Amino acid sequence: MLNFDPEKLKKDFPIFNQEINGRPLIYLDNGATTQKPNQVINEIRRYNETSHGNPHRGAHQLSIRATEEYDNAKEKVKSFINAKSIEEIIFTRNTTESLNLIAYSYGMEFIKENDEIVIAISEHHSNIIPWQKVAKDKNAILKYMYLDEEGRIPIDEIESKITSKTKLVSIAHMSNVLGTIHPIREIIERAHELGAVVVVDGAQSTPHIKVDVQDLNADFYVFSGHKMLAPMGIGVLYGKKELLENMPPFLTGGDMIEYVYEQDATFAPLPFKFEAGTQNVEGAIGLGAAIDYLQSVGLNEIEKYEKFLVEYALNKILDIPYVNIQGPKDLSMRGGIISFTIDDVHPHDISTILDSYGVAVRAGHHCAQPLMRYLELPATARASFYLYNTKEDIDQFIEGIKNVRKWLGYGS
């Protein structure tokens, strides 16, 4: 059984003290961004009211406190994903910037003509376009792994695409459209055997399942704070120390240097080499507080609970004949994301109509146009869950779904 009470936990989140269109807010857009508990909101306030300074730059109290709190947040991230040391943890703005950093720094330095970069057709645009740029600039080749009818990457697809020509594989741990949890262990093993490095886009996984970067043996692992109860404007790049050490800096400027001469500069050791300019200290502290919160509930509990919610929702949805579901049927291969369509109704209308029932879901291409084209869908609606969602949320969601077609003049 669960060790937490979702109803009680929901009370930590002030956003739910309001009605949307006269109904209680049912927030099912957690794949896009998540809400913040008081514990995070209050930490940011506390920092701003008592300890704000520019870290690493001063010998006065506030600067010292800001430095300690920033470093402390980094320690929390390190433990959270089980990195070896804080030298392997770089704070960025978001997943997108983390991926761009790898592409600009690692990609532009180590990918050469005719080398192959392998990604999946289901990647988020942030894990596609940076590689298109590297491929174009370096005359390298960008290859796609395609999915089976349940949205999984077949083993033979992995084996035929990742070859001795492959220099880099970049893959989402969990698809933000299909909810598929990709076989990244197998992908990493295969890639390492053939000498390629693997970037894991953990934007959707880190908030929802226990991630251990050493156990996975990922070379790079990236995620965003705002999808895991933390503020916007803070993201993480994990990279193995040997790799980060050999990479050139990406953004340059204050704080990432050792000595600066008129025509040349030498750079600070890790992790500072990759953190140019004044960092988002309050974002980092908020992320630290979010990690504390998630760990107090327990990532394994969260994962278990979300599986329960998905199962509960899927069972109800599968009873509705005109609703179509994307992604794996096998619950062990998916996370708390359900992409769906309704016959004769465009997903944007679904989203607008559900909104009038207080239910927030997303509609569109979910920043995954190549996947949409591959699925031959112009768009889908997507419900994505988190620890504060309840069975009643799902009931309300299903209730809303059942009304959608009526609004558009189709007998239910």
Catalytic residues: 367
Contact in structure between 269 and 54 (CB atoms under 8 Å): no
Task: Select from 92-100, 160-168, 313-321, 339-347 the region that touches ligand PLP (CB under 6 A).
Answer: 92-100
CA distances from residue 342 to 192, 314, 378, 402 in whole angstroms, order as listed: 42, 14, 13, 10
Strands (E), 219-274: 220-224, 235-239, 257-260, 265-267
Q: How far is the CB of 369 from other proteins (least distance, A)?
A: 9
Q: Compose the 250-279 pattern: x for residues touching its own copies by CB under 8 A, - for all others.
A: -xxxxx-x-xxxxxxx----------xxxx
Query: Which residue number, 85 or 300, has a Cβ lying nearer to other proteins?
Result: 85
Please provide residue 290's backbone torsions phi and psi, each rounded to the nearest 5 degrees.
-65, -40
Q: Name which position in 203, 218, 230, 317 contacts ligand PLP (CB under 6 A).
A: 203
35 binds, among ligand PLP, other proteins, its own copies, none (CB under 5 to 8 A by kind): its own copies
Under rule CB under 6 A, residue 95 binds ligand PLP? yes
By the rule CB under 8 A, 409 interacts with other proteins: yes
- How many residues of this chain bind its own copies (CB under 8 A)? 92
Of 61-69, 123-131, 239-247, 375-383: span binding ligand PLP (CB under 6 A): 123-131
| Nearer to ligand PLP (CB atom), residue 63 or residue 356 | 63
353 binds other proteins (CB under 8 A): yes
User: What does 378 interact with, of other proteins, its own copies, ligand PLP, none (CB < 5 to 8 A by kind)?
Assistant: other proteins
- What minimum distance in Å lies between the beta carbon of 135 and its own copies? 8
Do the strands 257-260 and 235-239 form a parallel or antiparallel pair, or are they unpaired? unpaired
Q: Are 241 and 218 in contact (CB under 8 A)?
A: no
Which one of 5-13, 215-223, 255-263, 312-320 is the stretch in contact with other proteins (CB under 8 A)? 255-263
Are residues 300 and 152 in contact, defined by beta-carbon separation less than 8 angstroms? no
175 binds its own copies (CB under 8 A): no
Residue 208 near residue 192 (C-beta atoms within 8 A): no
Within 10 A of 110 (CB to CB), how many other CB atoms are there?
16
CA distance 21 to 11: 20
The item of other proteins, ligand PLP, its own copies, none sharing an interface with residue 190, based on CB under 5 to 8 Å by kind, is none
Binding-site string for ligand PLP from residue 13 to residue 42, where x marks contact by CB under 6 A and - marks none: ------------------x-----------
Within 75-134, the residues that bind its own copies by CB under 8 A are 93-97, 99-100, 104, 121, 124-130, 132-133
Strand partners, 19: 24
Three-state SS annotation for 24-69: ECEECECCCCCCCCHHHHHHHHHHHHHCCCCCCCCCCHHHHHHHHH
Would you call 77 helix, strand, or coil by DSSP? helix
Q: Which of 30, 51, 100, 224 binds ligand PLP (CB under 6 A)?
A: 224
201 binds, among other proteins, ligand PLP, its own copies, none (CB under 5 to 8 A by kind): ligand PLP
* 126 in contact with ligand PLP (CB under 6 A): yes
147: left (phi over 0), alpha (psi -120 to 50) or beta: beta
**Distance of alpha carbon 257 from alpha carbon 272, whole angstroms:** 8
